[in-house]
Chains A and B, each alone.
Chain A
């Protein structure tokens, strides 16, 4: 294909990516080094209280935002370097907590608390999603053809449900007098409060994410299984390989590019965990990095947003994703080069 033709095909996509991905990214990156604050002035305010013969007046110094001619708060933007990152990471507090082996203190810092949950969530759901997807795909692949359609449909249902609705549904099953809570209470004879502890909420979140995403992995793996070299599997059977050895030496290597693909997609997705925090209303117990950014962007009582810290938090989230993806991308690149 001529370069001109290639460019003509690719240009619209490149423009869109520059406009909607690269530009916002650069903007957030720059904003993380600047601090925008309202211009505050200090004024002397005299407060008078009416009295019997004369009023009593007192003066006090007050700060207030400066308004422009349209009545809007004036703001000023200053370059603060890495200050916003320091505000998010709180390195001094974090170091004190780490050097003092004070886990509780470290978890008292929002960023580290969010990072702990985000990493836990990502690394526990990743293998579970891959294993569950692979198990369902193998089961469906071995199901009689007559039932395959129905089994595929049922297996895909969790993926069709909107994430927040799915999370809310699970919450309603377990919250307070939820059906499942009542059932468990009936079996155990004890009062159960699933949403009273962080760990039980985390477990539900992990379960929900695996339940929701495994069907995607299943569909991809099932498609991959259709391409497994039947002769190679039969050769392994004759060579004496057990079912597990055939899976290990023939099927898994064949699916490896798809496993890497699912891992890439899932790492990116899980590291941005957000819906579960909202759906399960877990803010009091666990938060994620994405939620932290959202929280910083939520206006406070005075209507101010911590845009600079939110930008720093977003950039740190992105850096985290990139670090997690590097080994997989290296592998993909190596395979790609090896294929040529």
Chain B
């Protein structure tokens, strides 16, 4: 049982808050992703759970036990680092065996456990190689095997795919997902890549400036962002956000007019996703084409509206010249309204 509870966790350096009043419960066997831009406090949170940083305030509970005062080695966790953090002087076998060796686990078990962990990440044939003789993906798999071999209660993964190229990232991501399914161990995964978060997580915690912006399943985060930060951080492209004024259910801004909304009157931010709108069929936005990008499976049309650049996915064979006037259809049902001042989501009736 490795439920993790973070109660009012704060990390402060002088007057600067790395993490502020974080409350979170991570269920046993849950795969939780901490997502956010650099400096948002996600890695600091993970390091506090690992015991590599002391929390200034608050309690960290693992399996019902307060672990604030325990050394990292006594928290029964394993961690995978972005830089792999392998021991360069040891070969693959010795790297994987290291946690068993220093924890004085009987030597008779080592061989079998190391081989099992190595097989799980398909490293069996590289046992005698040094890390310098491995590719980036292979090194990260060694780091994964080193984490697996001890059979810990909690896995912590700090941007494990960030040093890999795009192709390797996809295959290693799939491997992590598969491992997580097989091992069924509580996992906390830190990333700034929202695709990794969406594909791996049971739940995602979006953070900014040390504060939790939203906690939810990938679908909830994507479909119902809690504020403009989450809306603009999740999705590729990010959600279109336009400034305007709501009056009697009608949103109006530069080049844009959307009727049928149920939000409050006054200044608001309206958001919609590029794939939910369509070129033609309606005329909520009428504006000249700012740019046109061919994506292969679609064509991304960008116009200026509501004081921002607004992108819409059009069919792959759609063509227009820059400057050509286009009409964009934005049904009221796909729109999200946010407070113009605070950015918080406005619940529409």
B159–chain A nearest beta-carbon distance, Å: 11
A190–chain B nearest beta-carbon distance, Å: 50
Interface residues on B, range: 20 to 34
> Does B98 sit at the interface, judged by CB under 8 A?
yes
Q: How far apart sit A223 and B24, CA to CA, in the bound complex (Å)? A: 41
Query: What residues of chain B lie closer than 8 Å to A231, measured between beta carbons?
Result: 81-85
Counting chain B CB atoms within 10 Å of each CB, the highest count among A236, A238, A249, A253 belongs to A238
Which of these, A245, A253, A254, A339, contacts B102 with CB under 8 Å?
Answer: A245
Kindly report which residue of chain B lies nearest to residue A245, judged by CB atoms: B102
Which of these, B81, B90, B132, contacts A234 with CB under 8 Å?
Answer: B81
Which of these, A232, A240, A339, contacts B87 with CB under 8 Å?
Answer: A232
Asked whether A238 lies within 8 Å of B77 as measured between CB atoms, the reply is yes
Which of these, B71, B73, B78, B89, contacts A253 with CB under 8 Å?
Answer: B89
233-291 of chain A: CB within 8 A of chain B: 234-242, 245, 249-250, 253-254, 256
Asked whether A239 lies within 8 Å of B50 as measured between CB atoms, the reply is no
Asked whether A237 lies within 8 Å of B52 as measured between CB atoms, the reply is yes
Q: A237-B73, A238-B78 are in contact. Are A232 and B85 (CB under 8 A)?
A: yes
> Does B103 sit at the interface, judged by CB under 8 A?
yes
Say what secondary structure dominates the interface of chain B: loop
Kindly report which residue of chain B lies nearest to residue A241, judged by CB atoms: B102
Which of these, A239, A253, A254, contacts B98 with CB under 8 Å?
Answer: A239
> Does A229 sit at the interface, judged by CB under 8 A?
yes
Interface residues on A, range: 10 to 19
Q: How far apart sit A229 and B71, CA to CA, in the bound complex (Å)? A: 20
Asked whether A240 lies within 8 Å of B103 as measured between CB atoms, the reply is yes
Asked whether A234 lies within 8 Å of B73 as measured between CB atoms, the reply is no
Counting chain A CB atoms within 10 Å of each CB, the highest count among B78, B84, B85, B143 belongs to B85
Asked whether A240 lies within 8 Å of B73 as measured between CB atoms, the reply is yes
Q: How many A-B residue pairs have CB under 8 A?
A: 67
Kindly report which residue of chain A lies nearest to residue B78, judged by CB atoms: A238
Q: A229-B83, A229-B85, A232-B86 are in contact. Are A239 and B52 (CB under 8 A)?
A: no
Query: What residues of chain A lie closer than 8 Å to B99, measured between beta carbons?
Result: 239-240
Query: What residues of chain B lie closer than 8 Å to A339, measured between beta carbons?
Result: 132
Query: What residues of chain A lie closer than 8 Å to B103, measured between beta carbons?
Result: 239-240
Query: What residues of chain A lie closer than 8 Å to B88, measured between beta carbons?
Result: 232, 253-254
Counting chain A CB atoms within 10 Å of each CB, the highest count among B50, B51, B87 belongs to B87
Q: A249-B87, A250-B87, A253-B89 are in contact. Are A235 and B81 (CB under 8 A)?
A: yes
Query: What residues of chain A lie closer than 8 Å to B86, measured between beta carbons?
Result: 232, 235
B131–chain A nearest beta-carbon distance, Å: 10
Query: What residues of chain B lie closer than 8 Å to A241, measured between beta carbons?
Result: 73, 98, 102
> Does B124 sit at the interface, judged by CB under 8 A?
no
> Does B203 sit at the interface, judged by CB under 8 A?
no
Query: What residues of chain A lie closer than 8 Å to B143, measured between beta carbons?
Result: 235
Which of these, A234, A240, A249, A254, contacts B52 with CB under 8 Å?
Answer: A234
Query: What residues of chain B lie closer than 8 Å to A237, measured between beta carbons?
Result: 52, 71-73
Kindly report which residue of chain A lies nearest to residue B89, judged by CB atoms: A253
Kindly report which residue of chain B lies nearest to residue A339, judged by CB atoms: B132
A195–chain B nearest beta-carbon distance, Å: 46
B204–chain A nearest beta-carbon distance, Å: 24
Query: What residues of chain B lie closer than 8 Å to A245, measured between beta carbons?
Result: 102
A300–chain B nearest beta-carbon distance, Å: 56
B171–chain A nearest beta-carbon distance, Å: 23
Q: How far apart sit A245 and B71, CA to CA, in the bound complex (Å)? A: 15
A-B pairs with lowest CB-CB distance, top 5: A231-B85, A253-B89, A235-B85, A240-B73, A239-B99
Interface CB pairs A-B, < 8 A, 25: A231-B85, A232-B85, A234-B50, A234-B79, A235-B81, A235-B86, A235-B146, A237-B71, A237-B72, A238-B51, A238-B52, A238-B73, A239-B73, A239-B78, A239-B98, A239-B102, A239-B146, A240-B102, A241-B102, A242-B102, A245-B102, A253-B87, A253-B88, A254-B88, A256-B89
